[in-house]
A = this chain, B = another copy of it.
Amino acid sequence: MTFETITHTLPAWLSEEGPDSIIVLSSRARLARNIEGFLFAHRADDKTLNHIVREVLDAAEAAGFDSSNYFSTDDLDDLKKNVLMERHLISPALAKHDGSHGVLVRESEKASIMVNEEDHIRLQALCSGLDTGQVMETARDIEDLLSHELTFSQSKNYGYLTACPTNMGTGLRVSVLIHLPALVLTKEIQRVVRSAGQLGMAVRGYRGEGSDVVGNLFQISNQKSFGRTESEIVSGLDIVVRQIIDYEKKAAGVLMKEAGNQVYDKVWRSVGILKTARVLSTHEFMNLASAVRLGRYLGILKQPEIHQLNELLIITQPGHLQERSGDRFDSSERDRMRADLIRERFVDVSV
C-alpha cells in the first residue's frame, strides 16, 4: 500500500454499510498499551523510541499487519501528515513529532496502530455505522495477537499503565461519529450533551478533543477507561448512543411537523448551493452536507448516496485537496477547488 492508495480511496469505515449508518457515520475502539521495560514515549530517547518501533512492527506482522504499510513521521512532510490526520489515522499530537514515531495501517484503514504517540501503542479499529461490538472485537483480536509478542505494562491494582492516567485500566476508548442535525435545529442538543456527560460520556466536535462542532457532527465516547470491564464500557456507550439516536429521530419528527417548509427549504437550498457554488470553505461545505444528509434521512432527497457524502467529507479537506492536485495552494484557491470537486460529484443529483 502506497501513500497514494490511502489518499485516493474512501476509508472502508465510511462506506455506509453498517447499522444506522445514516445517523452514525462510524464506530471506533481504541486501546492504549505500553511495552514493559521501556520508558513512556515522552521520556524515551531516540534510540529507545526506535527500538519500540521495531518491536511493535515485528509484533504487528505476527498480528496480520504488513509492516511496509508503516508511515514514519520522518518520511512525512506536513502535507502528508495533514492527509493522515484528516483520515483519522494519526493525531495532531503525533503529527508534531519527527523521528521514531509513525502509524501502521491495515488495508481498508479499518485498523491502524500509532506508534510512540502518547503511549507506545495506540491501536484503533473502525467500522461503518453503529457497531461498537465489532470494533471492540477487532481491537481485542489485534491486541491479543500483539500480546503474544510483547509484554504490556500493567499493575494488579490499576490494570494497563498509560502515560496519562485518564487512559489507564482498560486503555479503552470507544467512540462513535454521529450526525445530530435535528437536535441542533431544535436547540435540544445542549440538554443531550449535558445528560450524556452525566452518564460518563464525552461529547466533542468532528475532529475530537478541543475541536469545534461543525456540520452537526459529534464524537461521543466514554470518559473513563478504568473501574469497569471493556464490555461494560462498550455496552455503556452503546446504550447512551441508541438513546441519542432515538432523541434525534423524535426531534426530526417534531421539526417536520412544526417547520416542515423550512426544513424542505434548507435541504433543497443546500443541494442548490452545492450544485452551483464556485467557492466553498470546509466549514460551509460541512454545514450544507449536513442539511443534505438530513434530507436523505427524512426522505426529502433520493440522492446523493450517503457514502458519497462521507467520501466528500474526507476528500474535500485541505490536505486531501492539495494531495489530489499534487501542488500547494492557498486557502482561497482550495475553496475554489473544493467547490469544483463537489459540483462534479453533485452533477447527477437532480433538483
Decide if A239 is an interface residue (CB 8 Å cutoff).
no
Segment 292-351 of A: residues with Cβ below 8 Å from B: 332, 336, 339, 351
Cβ B278 vs Cβ A273 within 8 A: no
Contacts of A274 in B (CB 8 A): 272
Residues of B within 8 A of A269 (CB): 272-273, 276-278
The answer to whether A246 has its CB under 8 Å from any CB of chain B is no
A243 at the interface (CB under 8 A from B): no
Q: Does A226 contact B (CB under 8 A)?
A: no
* Contact between B268 and A277, CB atoms less than 8 A apart: yes
**A276 is contacted by which of B261, B271, B278, B336 (Cβ under 8 Å)?**
B271
Distance (whole angstroms) from the CB of A270 to the closest CB of chain B: 8
Q: How large is the interface on A (under 10, 10 to 19, 20 to 34, 35 or more residues)?
A: 10 to 19
Cα A46 to Cα B147 with chains together (Å): 104
Q: Does A275 contact B (CB under 8 A)?
A: yes
Residue of B nearest to A335 (CB): B261
Q: Which of A257-289 touch B at CB < 8 Å?
A: 261-262, 264-265, 268-269, 271-279
CB distance from A261 to the nearest CB of B (A): 6
- In Å, the complex CA distance between A265 and B279 comes to 6
Q: Smallest Cβ distance from A92 to chain B, in angstroms?
A: 30
Q: Chain B nearest CB: distance from A127 CB in Å? A: 34
CB distance from A28 to the nearest CB of B (A): 35
CB-based contact A265/B351 at 8 Å: no
Cβ contacts under 8 Å, A275 to chain B: 272, 351
Interface centre among A268, A274, A339 (most CB of B within 10 A): A268
Instruction: List residues of chain A with CB under 8 Å of any chain B CB.
Output: 261-262, 264-265, 268-269, 271-279, 332, 336, 339, 351
Q: 10 other contacts beyond A272-B276, A275-B351, with CB at 8 A cut-off? A: A261-B332, A261-B336, A262-B279, A265-B277, A269-B276, A269-B278, A272-B272, A272-B274, A272-B275, A272-B277
